[in-house]
Structure 1
Amino acid sequence: MSEKGADIGRAPSAPSLDEGQVAAEKQMRDIGADLYLELRQYSREGLDAERKLVLRKIDLVIMPIICITYTIQFLDKLSLNYASAYSLIPDLGLEGQRYSWVAAIFNFGYLFWAIPANLLIQRLPVSKYTGCMILTWSILLCCHVAAKGYAGILILRFLLGMFEASISPAIMNIVSMFYTRQEQPLRMCVFLAFNGMATMIGALLGYGLGHVHNAAVKSWQLIFLVMGLLNFIWAWIFLWFMPDSPSSAKFLTHKQRVVAIDRIASNMIGAVEAVLDIKVHALMLIGLGCGVINGGVSNFASALLRGFGFSGIYATLLQLPTGAFEFVLVPLCGLAAGYFRDSRCIILAIICLPPLGGLLGIRLTDLHHRWSLVGCTWLQYLIGAPVILSWNLLTSNIAGHTKRSIANGLWFLFYAAGNIAGANIFFAREKPRYFSAITGLIVCYCGMFAIALFLRQWMWWENWRRDKRYGKGEDDQAVEEGFNDMTDRESKHFRYAL
């Protein structure tokens, strides 16, 4: 490698670089531009021969870590829902709207830390930062056992939301560093499907721990304690095995690291532009809708099922099939999005229809048909598919170091705000139907359907305009512009993934 190539990634020797140059150097360090310079030493045939092996090794190491991380962090989010099926509410005085505020305060913490989390992820070693966050929230989750009243649980839930705000943008960052834009939809849907695995594990844990009768430790306290300890153990495993980037992946040889950089060079991974970009606005609104639905379903599924005539312990067990539902169907959406060209927005719109039908069923079906109502409730757990497809649209279609950080932060900001709203539109006086909440969720799905189709048409028109003016498709110039930290608007050779 040339002397010039060896110098890339070192700190600048003088502070005369302007902010744009610093951002560009940071971007080059992040994706291993020093290794990218080595590509000229290898033939294209030699690199292509290694690509499948490198992808296989990445799938065998990175994907299991991400999937397990997503499973345990979603268990954290569901812990309050499962605990509420037992004596949590009377023990801590959470009757009426107090429980709604305990559910919502998590998202205030998330909202508070959403943009700072995204900026820190871009500036710190991503795996080390994420591992420390997992360790911190595992301790906070264990501290829930000691909560004695309304104020204490509010503080703990706020802090838990704050420290969990980093996990999804961190995983998005890792996926964009290791996988091409064509590979991302399936992988992102696979790891989000492990939310379904978390639902199944959580339902079994909640059901099993509900049979523990101990005056000193209540069932709801055991739920928080067991889930906290699982997170604590996993934090150390994550810190040990997860690399910060392809250039630091110990499970790859030096040449394979070069190949890994070559694979993602065309991803082309600037803050005023983010807040003025119509794509970011559309995805923010989808994030808001997803948040409202998630905030309602994840915190009130047990309440809905109890309202249909099932006892607390069976209301927990009945959430087991929802996990299997999500675990199977969400990856199928990712597989379709990766297989059918330019289908991501269309699939996002279509996948909104089954849960929308389920909401209409809850709204209109007689309470005597309680198993029909249970089936309609299960459909609500498909919310993971719109979430992950909107993430993929973000990572695939927003280029530029700063712009991507701000766009991700804004999405999670609106998602957290939606979760707050979703947890507070389930009014205790309206149970078991919760008509206001169900109507609100129906409006969200209708809005997401329309916005997804609008976004696809806008990006298709922009691609057509660029093809007509600058020539068809992306080329080597697009890769070079990506390494120069140009945004998708600045790079005339960038094309949007629909």
Structure 2
Amino acid sequence: MSLEHPEKAGSAATVGDKPHAEGQDYPRSQLSGEVLELDEATNKRLLRKIDWRLMPVAILSQAAIFGLRDDLGLTDGLKYSWVSLIFYFGYIVGTYPISFLAQRYPSRIVCTAICICWSVVILCTPACTSYAGLLVNRFFLGLIEAGVSPIFMLVVGLWYTHSEQVMRSSLWYSFSGGSLLVSPLINYGLGHITGGSMQPWQYMYLIAGIATLIWGIALWWLFPDSPQNARGFTEDERRLLLERVRGNNAGSENKEFKSYQFKEAMVDYQLWGIMVISIVSCTGSGAVTTFGSIVFNDMGFDTFTSLLLNLPIGAMAFICVLGSGYLGRTVPNSRLYVVVGACAPVILGCALIWQLPDSKRAGRIVGFYLISFFSSAWVQCIGLGTSNVAGHTKKSVYAAGTFIGYSLGNIVGPLMFNAKYAPRYDKSFIGIMICFAVCVFVSLGLRLMLARENKTRDRLYGAPEISHGLEDMTDGENKSFRYNLNNPPSPEGGTFVDANANQTVFTEADFSDVEDNGYPEGGKEAWLVVFGAWCAMVSSMGLLNTLAVLQAWVLEDQLAGMPESTVGWIFGAYGFFLYFCGAQVGPIFDAHDIKLIIIPGSIGMVASMIFLSFSKEFYQVFLSFGVVGGISASLLFNPSMSAIGHWFSKRRAFATGIACTAGGTGGIIFPLIILYLAPRIGFPWAIRVIALMFTISGVLACLFLRKRLPPNKKAGSSIDLKALSDYKYATTTLAIFFIEFAVFIPYTYISSYALYHGFKPTQAYLLNTLLSVGGIPGRALPGYVADRFGIFNTKEIKP
């Protein structure tokens, strides 16, 4: 799943003030390599002590920090949005630096400093007399707060077993909802304060700041450090605290920053999957917490009634988070299924608000309350980020990434509630429905990949061991690590091991035997790679097969009146970069992990479509589509073709042909979207719908595409033209050039050519679709024939 990286010899590390041997983590030195016996009664006693020592601190800190931060009393919609959003921009900026501090220094010191600094900033809020001053204040408020929740993610991962983490994470985070239940009541009372020199919202921040300052000072004595340095525990209990979590195989606290763990995290599909789930699920948070009162105002309720109508939102969030944790803890293999289940009420709630008339206010309010189920999905991301990753540096990256996704979701959510959509905000709620549909898709894909990884490890390495459980190894290094999809209590032999004991053991039926030539030539693994390649090419090659429709539309719309020969440079550039950049992408593919190419390619394709939807001038369309789109398509197309070659030899042509049918599929779907949606919702929104489809296909490509062979570091990443000295290779390359040159012409000009000869626009666009329909069997069947009669023989008989 992740980068392999051997431990670097000769490196010394220090934890706190206690140095330990090179290449050895402090807790392993403390335990002298022995596995201690821990009976069930002792384990329960320690768990109760941990809960009473840790949970009240986490709960009160979360409630104090989360409490009163969004009630500003601004009535200007745009200003209100930016005062709310600037907080999350600060959150994004501060997340990684503060998470790094928490990884490098004792959590107690970092968390205490955060709370005190946060209280100082919030106490300064009533002194803000201008809009600009309030923006600066809110930015630093978000920047400082950014470390609190990631720190608690790390702490829960250090103190609790996998089976205990999801419920404890839900417990402390549920008090975010609890604060939403209490703060409207406080604000309701403070809002009735009259007289004096301060406004009611200033009293809100003054009281919150004083309470947080007192709590921040108290944290110096109350906040628990790591298990090996915990106050209030005897030396023997500390040893047993470490023994409890050995079965996690996730390591323990280590203050050395390990760059290879950072790099491994950045190319890990699980991190990006969790971030996507965080972003899309937190769009509901951004809508509910920031614009809840405004939506109720637009339904006809006065300000104070709107404030009170927010009370059930906090109560539901509290219940949903705890309920989500309970289900994830008790129902086998349910963690990501809980995410999927939580998305259904949100989609239903948005549909109710969208479809019910204004006269059905009760039904629309119920729909708005159902959006609170977003918290059930989001809290599972916190649990996944603590229990499904090993290595302390890597854990800190996951914690930061999870809450960056949280911030982005809270930015996107309010932006959906544009004033022009008032008072019903139909398009806003449609946008949230789409986000949660993506959440369902990504959650199921991520679960499939993690389950497959567990089965692969079971087959290759047998049952998990716990001998390395306390060493600072990543889940990629430690092959005994199992990704946690459920949370079964599984005592084994006296040491409490929690490593997905209910996982299905991998069987040979799941894989085909490796052929004598060393290639699998089939099996689930190989065909999932083909599916991943198909997903990557449905955007890159599907867009190539849509060029004719795009060019015809652009000539009639954005660039009307511009010579067709000039506009043709835009779409010619797309094809040029798609193929030409392969000369550089190929060496990078050979020398590095495929995720380093696929992830930026997927992001680039989505960005290209978003930029295109806003483009009005020639240079804008050229840069967004021709340059960004072409380069991004190359990052998807070339690795996809190469990856198939790792898994197939005798059946390579057929497997490649199956993957290439994605181009025909995209060439059918995307023109039809433009043809039928653009006249109804506008060309920009039709392009954004395509961008959404690119997001889904890109996520699937990142999940399923993988190399069978290890990276060849000796090959280098630079272009090597020596291969062209082989005349066979050079002449084959030249032949492919002429073939692609011929194919490129109809796919680019068939629609504009038809328009020139008097065809109706609908007919002209459908010609491109019919061309793609023929391309689907035209790609798959020749591959099947080529594997039996030879590639060049097949080329000779093709028309």
Amino acid at match of 2:60: I
Q: 1:366 to 1:103 in 2, by over 3 A?
A: same
Query: 2:63·2:179 contact (CA, 8 Å) conserved in 1?
Result: yes
* Larger helix percent: 1
1:39 shift after superposition = 5.7
- Pick from 425, 432, 443: which aligns with 2:416? 425
Query: 2:156·2:165 contact (CA, 8 Å) conserved in 1?
Result: yes
1:380 shift after superposition = 2.1
1:421 shift after superposition = 2.0
Q: Please give the alpha-carbon distance, in whole angstroms, between the structure 1 residues aligned to 2:189 and 2:28.
A: 51
Query: 2:281·2:377 contact (CA, 8 Å) conserved in 1?
Result: yes
Write out aligned runs for 1:327-342 (5 A): 327-342=318-333
Residue 4 of structure 1 is matched in structure 2 by none
Q: 1:65 to 1:168 in 2, by over 3 A?
A: same
Residue 484 of structure 1 is matched in structure 2 by 471
Residue 64 of structure 1 is matched in structure 2 by 56
Q: Please give the alpha-carbon distance, in whole angstroms, between the structure 1 residues aligned to 2:72 and 2:81.
A: 14
Residue 465 of structure 1 is matched in structure 2 by 456
User: Is residue 296 from structure 1 mapped to residue 287 from structure 2 by the alignment?
Assistant: yes
User: Is residue 239 from structure 1 mapped to residue 234 from structure 2 by the alignment?
Assistant: no
1:13 shift after superposition = 9.2
Q: Secondary structure at the match of 2:198?
A: coil
The one-character-per-residue Cα deviations of 1:204-229 (angstroms, maximum 9, x if unpaired) are: 10111111112411111111111112
Residue 404 of structure 2 is matched in structure 1 by 413
Query: 2:421·2:428 contact (CA, 8 Å) conserved in 1?
Result: no
1:156 shift after superposition = 0.5
Query: 1:359·1:438 contact (CA, 8 Å) conserved in 2?
Result: yes
Residue 186 of structure 1 is matched in structure 2 by 167
Query: 1:39·1:258 contact (CA, 8 Å) conserved in 2?
Result: no
Q: How many residues end up aligned between the 2 structures? A: 462
TM-score under structure 1 normalisation? 0.88
Gaps of 5+ in 2: 1-13, 252-260, 486-799
Query: 1:359·1:377 contact (CA, 8 Å) conserved in 2?
Result: yes
Residue 211 of structure 1 is matched in structure 2 by 192
1:107 shift after superposition = 0.8
Q: Secondary structure at the match of 1:418?
A: helix
Q: Please give the alpha-carbon distance, in whole angstroms, between the structure 2 residues aligned to 1:460 and 1:331.
A: 25
Query: 2:278·2:381 contact (CA, 8 Å) conserved in 1?
Result: yes
Q: Please give the alpha-carbon distance, in whole angstroms, between the structure 1 residues aligned to 2:301 and 2:72.
A: 16
Q: Please give the alpha-carbon distance, in whole angstroms, between the structure 1 residues aligned to 2:30 and 2:379.
A: 30
Residue 231 of structure 2 is matched in structure 1 by 250
Write out aligned runs for 1:72-111 (5 A): 72-76=64-68, 79-80=69-70, 82-84=71-73, 88-89=74-75, 95-111=76-92
Q: Please give the alpha-carbon distance, in whole angstroms, between the structure 2 residues aligned to 1:389 and 1:260.
A: 25
Query: 1:8·1:34 contact (CA, 8 Å) conserved in 2?
Result: no
1:35 shift after superposition = 4.2
Residue 357 of structure 2 is matched in structure 1 by 366
Gaps of 5+ in 1: 1-6, 90-94
User: Is residue 274 from structure 1 mapped to residue 265 from structure 2 by the alignment?
Assistant: yes
- Pick from 27, 30, 44: which aligns with 1:52? 44
User: Is residue 164 from structure 1 mapped to residue 173 from structure 2 by the alignment?
Assistant: no
- Pick from 448, 461, 475: which aligns with 2:465? 475
Query: 2:91·2:407 contact (CA, 8 Å) conserved in 1?
Result: yes
TM-score under structure 2 normalisation? 0.56
Q: Please give the alpha-carbon distance, in whole angstroms, between the structure 2 residues aligned to 1:9 and 1:251.
A: 18
Q: Please give the alpha-carbon distance, in whole angstroms, between the structure 1 residues aligned to 2:427 and 2:102.
A: 38
User: Is residue 351 from structure 1 mapped to residue 338 from structure 2 by the alignment?
Assistant: no
Structure with larger RCO (C-alpha < 8 A, sep 6+): 1
Q: Please give the alpha-carbon distance, in whole angstroms, between the structure 2 residues aligned to 1:206 and 1:290.
A: 27
1:328 shift after superposition = 2.0
Q: 1:434 to 1:415 in 2, by over 3 A?
A: same
Residue 483 of structure 2 is matched in structure 1 by 496
1:10 shift after superposition = 5.1
1:126 shift after superposition = 0.5
Residue 526 of structure 2 is matched in structure 1 by none
Amino acid at match of 1:69: S
Q: 1:56 to 1:236 in 2, by over 3 A?
A: same
Q: Secondary structure at the match of 1:323?
A: helix
Q: Please give the alpha-carbon distance, in whole angstroms, between the structure 2 residues aligned to 1:369 and 1:130.
A: 47
Q: Please give the alpha-carbon distance, in whole angstroms, between the structure 1 residues aligned to 2:187 and 2:407.
A: 26
- Pick from 157, 181, 184: which aligns with 1:176? 157
Q: Please give the alpha-carbon distance, in whole angstroms, between the structure 1 residues aligned to 2:437 and 2:158.
A: 33
Q: Secondary structure at the match of 1:214?
A: coil
Q: Please give the alpha-carbon distance, in whole angstroms, between the structure 1 residues aligned to 2:387 and 2:87.
A: 29
- Pick from 377, 388, 396: which aligns with 2:368? 377
Q: Secondary structure at the match of 2:416?
A: coil
1:8 shift after superposition = 8.1
The one-character-per-residue Cα deviations of 1:294-350 (angstroms, maximum 9, x if unpaired) are: 222211111111111111111111111222222223212111111122210111111
Please say which structure displays the higher CA radius of gyration: 2
Residue 447 of structure 1 is matched in structure 2 by 438
Q: Secondary structure at the match of 1:271?
A: helix
1:402 shift after superposition = 2.4
User: Is residue 388 from structure 1 mapped to residue 379 from structure 2 by the alignment?
Assistant: yes
The one-character-per-residue Cα deviations of 1:114-144 (angstroms, maximum 9, x if unpaired) are: 1112211110111220111011111111211
Q: Please give the alpha-carbon distance, in whole angstroms, between the structure 2 residues aligned to 1:316 and 1:251.
A: 43
Write out aligned runs for 1:305-316 (5 A): 305-316=296-307
Moved over 3 A (4+): 7-14, 32-40
Query: 2:88·2:408 contact (CA, 8 Å) conserved in 1?
Result: yes
1:265 shift after superposition = 1.7
Q: Please give the alpha-carbon distance, in whole angstroms, between the structure 2 residues aligned to 1:348 and 1:384.
A: 9
- Pick from 243, 251, 258: which aligns with 1:262? 243
Residue 147 of structure 1 is matched in structure 2 by 128
**RMSD value, Cα:** 2.1
Query: 1:104·1:420 contact (CA, 8 Å) conserved in 2?
Result: yes
- Structure 1 window deviating more from structure 2 (310-319 vs 251-260): it is 251-260
- Pick from 151, 155, 177: which aligns with 1:196? 177
1:484 shift after superposition = 3.2
Q: Please give the alpha-carbon distance, in whole angstroms, between the structure 2 residues aligned to 1:13 and 1:491.
A: 21
The one-character-per-residue Cα deviations of 1:439-462 (angstroms, maximum 9, x if unpaired) are: 221111111111111111111111
Amino acid at match of 2:136: I
State the identity %: 32
Q: 1:38 to 1:457 in 2, by over 3 A?
A: closer
Q: Please give the alpha-carbon distance, in whole angstroms, between the structure 1 residues aligned to 2:103 and 2:20.
A: 22
